[in-house]
Amino acid sequence: MISPDLTNQFLAIVDPARWLDKKEQLFCYAYDAFVEESMPEAVVFPETTEEVSQILALASAHQLPVTARGAGTSVCGAPIPARHGLVICFSQMDRIIEINTKDRYIIVEPGVVNADLQAALAPDRFFFPPDPGSMNMSTIGGNIAQNAGGPRCLKYGVTLDYILGLEVVLASGKIITFGSKNIKDVTGYKLAALFCGSEGTLGLVTKAILKVVPVPETVKTIMATFKDLDDTATAVTDIIGSGILPAAMELMDQLTLNAIEDKAGLGLDREAAGTLLIEVDGMAEACDKQIRLILEKLHAHHAVHIQEAGTAADRERLWTARRSAYGVFAKLAPDIISEDVTVPVSRVPEMVRRIVQIADRHKLRVGILAHAGDGNMHPMIPADKSNAEEWERVMAVFDEIFRAAADLEGTLSGEHGIGLAKAKYLPLVMDPGTIDFMKTIKQAVDPDGILNPGKFV
Ligand SMILES: Cc1cc2nc3c(=O)[nH]c(=O)nc-3n(C[C@H](O)[C@H](O)[C@H](O)COP(=O)(O)OP(=O)(O)OC[C@H]3O[C@@H](n4cnc5c(N)ncnc54)[C@H](O)[C@@H]3O)c2cc1C
């Protein structure tokens, strides 16, 4: 509980212009892109690590729950202040401190928006590979805390693969730094792996040293459509299984494609049961060869129409289609749940079949959108949460989807995280000893449990 006296102590740390505690101001910080909400008692916007440290020390002294927030684009309820208390929003800590392409690193504050970072790197012809569909909004702090991925993570890997070092403030207010500016550094424990993906439950990231990579010489993008969704999925496993590694390989089913076409009118094939958006990058000759091999595979799996993006504008059109999928789906019903199960890529066709069967059995529409090349599936169900009977069916579908993924040796999340959405399903993919070990770590760094309480640990 934040008493007036405690408020004054916080206001001795930050200017009142960076403190919100009126009910109407707080609503925006009660939810993310998931379907639950819970109000904070106040929101604070620190500008420096020192302020974050003082805020956390004070919160610790009063056992006040604290939840970090970037842009609130999480789709699993991770930044929702489930136990109320204080939200620390990092939007004012958005400086790009250093760009050093010679040594291939950058140093940034957590509130930098992913797309702004890409824009800042573009003149040097470098980029930061993690490219979540939310890249125009989501922040680097949120990307780190969720270990975000995205289409090109098929070839390039996820956020964790790009963290060289972090500055983190622990619940006590203590500031720790680890890692370095070196691309190779195996000194001591790999602490980045502990904090990355921890959803703000272990410490708050206030600075990051990130690896960046040169923009490839050539990019080629194709879109293939299929009459049969099963052919679409088997084409994926065949391409990846034969050792071709595109930069991205995105699958969309008919419902998703039509939702995009209804909204954006991009000339997509409404009859297609499945579509693959495939991108290769690298040296021009290598790209040509890869595309040739991919085309052979697509034809072998009965692709009916294949178009190549001839210009940058064409390529942008195809990616706009893919990136708008979540937004246009949200137009189909008042609520939408987008899930994130991952299976080994050889099991993608089976997982697609199971998702369709499960949704059919419960008489619900499901859209399938997948970073298919790495087995990461985003089944999306548009529904109305205020219709209790329908919502129960939605929950039953996701329950069965999680179990199907576990059954196929998959996992609960490939990139979106656990948050409020999937905490209860952890035992499906983690044994009790592992869950206990996570609790031991949490207890060691946040003994009073003030950081993002009510989440997966
Ligand atoms: C349209 C859409 C498309 C998306 N596409 C993708 C996708 O392709 N891939 C993907 O991985 N995700 C995707 N997401 C999910 C989401 O955008 C990512 O998880 C993103 O990384 C969240 O960033 P954020 O800044 O919005 O963080 P928030 O949602 O504000 O917070 C996310 C988590 O990070 C914690 N956090 C935030 N800042 C810090 C910090 N400085 N220190 C410690 N913890 C912190 C929060 O407490 C919370 O637990 C998508 C979401 C939407 C709405």
pLDDT in tens, 255-271: 999 998 888 787 888 99
> Does ligand 1 come within 6 angstroms of the Cβ of 74?
yes
H/E stretch holding 165 reads strand 163-169
Report whether residue 359 contacts ligand 1, using a CB cutoff of 6 Å. no
**Mean pLDDT computed over 18-46:** 96
Which residue lies with its CA nearest to atom 19 of ligand 1?
A: 74
Going by alpha carbons, the residue nearest to atom 21 of ligand 1 is 143
Task: Say yes or no: CB of residue 196 within 6 Å of ligand 1.
Answer: no
Confidence check: pLDDT of 4 > 90: yes
For ligand 1, say whether the CB of 454 is within 6 Å of any of its atoms. no
User: Is 204's C-beta closer than 6 angstroms to any atom of ligand 1?
Assistant: yes
pLDDT at 119: 98
**Percent of the chain scored above 70 by pLDDT?**
100
How are beta strands 86-89 and 66-69 bridged, if at all?
parallel
> Average pLDDT of 221-230?
96
Q: Is the CB of 29 under 6 A from ligand 1?
A: no
Q: Is the CB of 322 under 6 A from ligand 1?
A: no
Predicted confidence (pLDDT) per residue in 334-377, tens digit: 999 889 999 999 999 999 999 999 999 999 999 999 999 999 99
The per-residue pLDDT of the chain, averaged, comes to 96
pLDDT (average), residues 390-405: 96
Which ligand 1 atom sits nearest the alpha carbon of residue 419? 49
Confidence band for 205, pLDDT divided at 50, 70 and 90: very high
pLDDT range class, residue 430, cuts 50, 70, 90 = very high
Residue closest by Cα to atom 39 of ligand 1: 141
Q: Whose CA is nearest to atom 46 of ligand 1?
A: 79
Which mutation among 29, 36, 45, 73 tests ligand 1's pocket best, with the greatest number of atoms within 8 A of CB? Answer: 73
- Give the closest residue (by CA) to ligand 1 atom 23: 142
- Residue 317 — pLDDT band, cuts 50, 70, 90? confident
- pLDDT surpassing 90 at residue 72: yes
pLDDT at 267: 82
Q: 138, 202, 412: which to mutate for ligand 1, most atoms within 8 A of CB? A: 138
List the beta bridge partners of residue 281. Answer: 219
Average pLDDT (320-339) is 87
pLDDT at 82 exceeding the cut of 80? yes
Q: CA separation (Å) from 67 to 59, 112, 409?
A: 11, 18, 32
| pLDDT tier for residue 439 given thresholds of 50, 70 and 90 | very high
- What number does the ligand 1 atom closest to the CA of 168 have? 42
User: In angstroms, what is the span from residue 237 Cα to ligand 1's centroid?
Assistant: 29
The whole-number pLDDT of residue 330 equals: 81
- Closest ligand 1 atom to 144 CA: 21
Give the model's pLDDT for residue 201: 98
pLDDT at residue number 322: 87
Instruction: For ligand 1, pick from 134, 153, 416, 446 the residue to mutate: most ligand atoms within 8 Å of CB.
Output: 134
State the pLDDT confidence band at 329, using cuts at 50, 70 and 90.
Answer: confident
Banded pLDDT at 418 (limits 50, 70, 90): very high
Please tell me the least confidently modeled range out of 316-320, 347-351, 426-430: 316-320
For 232-250, the pLDDT digits (tens) are: 999 999 999 999 999 999 9
Residue 321: per-residue pLDDT: 82
Q: What pLDDT shows up at residue 55? A: 98
Please state the atom number of ligand 1 nearest to the C-alpha of residue 110. Answer: 41
Task: Report yes or no: 63 and 83 within 8 Å, Cβ to Cβ.
Answer: no
pLDDT higher than 80, residue 23: yes
> Contact at 8 Å (CB) between 304 and 226?
yes
How far apart are the C-alpha atoms of 223 and 303, rounded to whole Å? Answer: 10
Average pLDDT over residues 80-91: 98
Question: Residues 107-144: pLDDT tens digits?
Answer: 999 999 999 999 999 999 999 999 999 999 999 999 99
- Is the distance from the beta carbon of residue 378 to the nearest atom of ligand 1 less than 6 Å? no
Instruction: Flag whether pLDDT at 323 surpasses 90.
Output: no
Q: Residue 47 above 90 pLDDT?
A: yes
